[in-house]
Amino acid sequence: MRLCHSIILFFLVTSTFGQHVQCLQQGMYEPESQEIFIQTREKTHLTVVIHVLHRTSIDSISDEQILSQIDVLNEDFNQLNDNFDGTPAVFKEVAASVDVQFCLADKDPDGNPTTGITRTKTNIDDIGLTEAYYQTNLGGIDAWDPSRYINIWVADLGNSSISGSGTFPDQADPPGKDGILMSFKFFGREGVAEEFYPHDLGRICVHEMGHYFGLPHTFGTIGNGCNDDDGFNDTPLQDDPSFACPDFPAADICTQNNGVMFMNFMDYTDDACMTMFTAEQKNRIHQTLNGPRSSLKDNLDNICIVQTETPPETKDWNFFPNPAKDEIILEDEQYTGEKMSIYDTQGQLVLWAKALQRKSQISLSALQAGIYYVHYKNSFKKLLIVE
């Protein structure tokens, strides 16, 4: 089992490398003791690989769009979503943070470094509607070991009514398609996804991830009336799916008074109206992670470094582009000549630089493609370097 415990992770770094760039001091790291602290919550870390299947430049979605979906998953599964406060008070009482952390893979099944994103050019129209998407020999791409990775295929599903699907534990047939299939139109909340309101906030993938962990719909099976349920006592009995964005309370023939829990991620409402999982849904997810999907917790090839609090004295700063290739620009309108450090996913310092002006150019040519963490003014931000 791999947990990120509620302790302070301590990294002691002593040596690394660097190089000189214009408008910046950047060079060899001088041996010294430097304490870097990252406050984390107790979470189960889960490794994700995104398989992008594309025919055109439109369905070849950007890394930014992919990263935005990872962000949405981590927000929604940890009750960090901006719209959670809009949850009706009566349902807030049973809402829960699932306490899992999704991370793009740092190593592929052979142990090679990876960004956690694969890209496959295909000539098959609407490949997501075929059985080819999960088979390399048919024009798609094989899953990475499903016992270690959560495989998410992002593909063209044409103009069908299908926006995504997730396999329930131990129900993938054949086992090679275990994972989640998503339309590129509804994946994430940036890029192409921004054009597909009202499902433009990445919550279809959150819904399908719920199925992947064994969660049924809140309304049970469509057409079974009030005799069918999702099996959880903290979700009200519900007849049919909820659509659009109902007003609270939304009563139906099964539940009056406070009505149905239409804002639950396992209903069918618009993305902006979904806000929560319940405590019993959380328990089911962790039962799955301690049962049929327990091997996902044993993938020690990946580590998530998660900052959960930004010190109040931190001043605004940023860098761009992200993802980056050869360089980034560090921007700090209130620069004070402080040192910026870049760490790999093992907490090892790999590059440092000292800004000499408000916008400083920083070369990344010495670093391999992968995920890194930029530390500056007492806070961390994630950096993705691509080839």
Positions annotated as catalytic residues are: 208
**Of 183, 182, 204, 178, nearest in space to 288 by CA:** 178
Token readout for 67 is 């990263």
Per the listing, tokens 């209903």 go with 267
Upper half-sphere CA count for residue 312 (Cβ side, 13 Å): 0
DSSP for 28-87?
Answer: PPPS---EEEEE---EEEEEEEEEEEESSTTTS--HHHHHHHHHHHHHHTTT--GGGGGS
**Of 165, 41, 52, nearest in space to 99 by CA:** 41
- Return all residues near 187 (Cβ < 8 A) that are at least 6 apart: 61, 65, 66, 69, 154, 193, 202, 205
E strand or H helix that includes residue 3: strand 3-4
C-beta separation of 127 from 155 below 8 A: yes
Sign of CA dihedral 43, 44, 49, 52: negative
Cα separations in angstroms, 357 against 330, 334, 363 = 9, 9, 15
E strand or H helix that includes residue 125: none
Q: How many DSSP H helices and E strands does the chain contain?
A: 4, 19
- Return all residues near 317 (Cβ < 8 A) that are at least 6 apart: 330, 331, 332, 376, 377
- Return all residues near 273 (Cβ < 8 A) that are at least 6 apart: 244, 245, 246, 262, 263
**Of 279, 228, 276, 238, nearest in space to 258 by CA:** 238
How many Cβ atoms from other residues are within 10 Å of residue 75's Cβ?
16
Cα separations in angstroms, 286 against 43, 179, 214 = 11, 17, 10
